[in-house]
Amino acid sequence: MNLGENIKLALASLKANKMRAVLTMLGIIIGISSVIMIATMGNIMENSVMDIFNSQGGSNLVGFQITMKRDAVRNYYMDTDLITEEMVESVNERFADDIDVVSMSGGSESASMRFHREDLDLMVYGVNPGYIRQSMTEVIAGRYISEKDLDKRGSVCVISDKQANKLYGSPREALGKTLSFNCMGTGYDLTVVGVYEYKLNGLMSAMVNMMGEDWNNEVYIPYTTLAKMEGINESSFFYFYININNGVNAEKFASSVRDYINNRWYRDNDSIEVWYQTGESQMSMMSEVMGIISTVISVIAGISLLVGGIGVMNIMLVSVTERTREIGVRKALGAPNGAIRSQFIIESVIICLIGGAIGIVLGILLGNIAGVIIGTMASPSAGSIVLAVTFSMAIGVFFGYYPANRAAKLDPIEALRYE
């Protein structure tokens, strides 16, 4: 009795009990489709995160920020602990060969403006020219904040495409216009020199769209200008980013910059020093988090597969009992135990494989529906499909074996007598 005959037999028996077969498969379908859906959505998330990561410089990105020393005597920051322009400039000169762009943000202030009879909220960010690399934005009209703006503490700003459309009709028309707003009780008039839009895809753009206007009310101005508005002479920073040139070892570069800054400016600080994080380590942290999330969800999916498998076993036991007489007849006609066993195992494997196949299709479908909603298509990796197929087959064999073995070991005389 070969495999083909067994498969035909199993299909015939499933056809005879369609409703039952479908209900039994349901457990497997739900389990497998959730596994595949999770794998698909995991890919979507990973792609989006990778997109952002790469747009910000990928593994060429190094971040520096102040942090508590191990033997800190305070647990708070003072103004004198912050990173100064002087430090960044000095780093920029000393490591000029390795550095592509430095990006800094001197913080932000909220502001408001009147437009027709509406009060609009703004968020004013003080940035340097390099900051555009970190902000996931792109200038679509005019220009970004320049070095000259920084030096002159220029009254210029870069606004979003949505603001430009709303306030001035279009990005082009916004250029050269004056943006008047109120910040910390004082009125300011800034000249619009550029318009940006978010260059995002996938998950992030979905999130931006969901948050609506809130993400588009950011106005970028020189950080020196922001400092002036805040009444500070010298800007200072909690952190800054450096995009290094290709081919520069990020880890080595970051540690020498850290040592340089710490030796020169933080040696005598009792509590604070500068600490770095490379894009690589940030990425591995993120993928670790995503790994944990997908592991947890996979365990849940695994439990549902286990429940599905128990369902298969249950139905196979019922099937064996129902067909006791048939098993007796088959044995009387000369079926060896092995043939009976493989007949039932194959039946259970086929239930699981059909369930698995439907589950895979359904999972891809659901995953992509989710993908359409958040704006990216993704397919699960071939590995996860192979895994799903293998796993559903394994469930079939594992949960089918016990009932099949019970069938195989039936005494033919007893079985023939079974009513």
Partner 1 sequence: MNPIISMNGIVKSFYIGTPNELEILHGLNIEVPEGQFVSIVGASGSGKSTLMNIIGALDRQTAGRYILDGIDMSKQDDSALSGIRNKKIGFVFQTFNLIARTSAMKNVELPMLYAGVRSKERTKRAKELLEMVEMSDRSSHMPNELSGGQKQRIAIARAMANDPAIILADEPTGALDSKTGRLVMDIFHKLHKEQGKTIVLITHNPELAEETDRIITLSDGNIVGDRVVSEEAAAE
If binding is defined by CB under 8 A, does position 336 make contact with partner 1?
A: yes
Q: Which is nearer to partner 1, 212 or 338 (CB)?
A: 338
In angstroms, give the least distance from the CB of 350 to partner 1. 16
Give the span between the Cα atoms of 228 and 231, in whole angstroms.
5
Q: Confirm or reject binding of residue 318 to partner 1 (CB under 8 A).
A: no
Closest CB to partner 1 among residues 207, 332: 332
SS (H, E, C) 263-310: HHHHCCCCCEEEEEEEHHHHHHHHHHHHHHHHHHHHHHHHHHHHHHHH
Q: Supply the minimum distance, in Å, between the C-beta of residue 357 and partner 1.
A: 24
Least distance in Å: CB of 13 to partner 1?
Answer: 8
Could you say whether residue 329 binds partner 1 (CB under 8 A)?
yes
Judged by CB under 8 A, the residue of 164, 237, 305, 331 near partner 1 is 331
In the range 5-64, which residues lie near partner 1 by CB under 8 A?
A: 5, 12-13, 16
Please choose, out of 140-148, 337-345, 375-383, 398-406, the segment that lies near partner 1 by the rule CB under 8 A: 337-345
Binding mask 338-357 for partner 1 (x = CB under 8 A): xx------------------
Residue closer to partner 1, measured from CB, 4 or 231:
4
Residue 8 or 252 having the CB closest to partner 1 = 8
Q: Which range in 31-39, 83-91, 205-213, 335-343 contacts partner 1 by CB under 8 A?
A: 335-343
Which residue lies nearer to partner 1 by CB, 174 or 320?
320
Q: Which residues, including other chains, have CB under 8 Å from residue 411's CB and lie 6 or more apart?
A: none
- Which residue lies nearer to partner 1 by CB, 328 or 367? 328
Between 264 and 325, CB nearer to partner 1: 325
Q: In terms of C-beta distances under 8 Å and separation of at least 24 residues, what long-range contacts does 146-155 make, across chains too?
A: 149/193, 149/222, 149/225, 150/222, 150/223, 150/224, 151/224, 153/222, 153/224, 153/225, 153/227, 153/228, 154/222, 154/225, 155/188, 155/189, 155/190, 155/191, 155/225
Amino acid letter, 55: S
Closest CB to partner 1 among residues 16, 299: 16
User: Could you tell me which of 234, 241, 235, 272 has the C-alpha nearest to residue 92?
Assistant: 241
Considering only 293, 307, 332, 377, the residue that binds partner 1 (CB under 8 A) is 332
Show the tokens assigned to 252: 């080595």
Q: Within 383-412, which residues bind partner 1 (CB under 8 A)?
A: 412
**CB atoms closer than 10 angstroms to residue 179:** 23
Nearest to 207 by CA among 365, 54, 51: 51
H-type helices in 141-262, by residue range? 147-152, 161-168, 171-174, 203-211, 223-230, 250-261
Q: Could you say which of 84, 298, 304, 337 contacts partner 1 (CB under 8 A)?
A: 337
Q: Which of 289, 264, 259 is nearest to 275 (CA)?
A: 259
Residues in the interface with partner 1 (CB under 8 A) total 22
Pick one of 117, 334, 373, 383: the residue that binds partner 1 (CB under 8 A): 334
Residue found by looking up tokens 């196949």 in the block: 357
Radius of gyration of the chain from its Cα atoms, rounded to whole angstroms: 33
The site for partner 1 (CB under 8 A) is made up of 1, 5, 12-13, 16, 325-326, 328-339, 412-413, 416
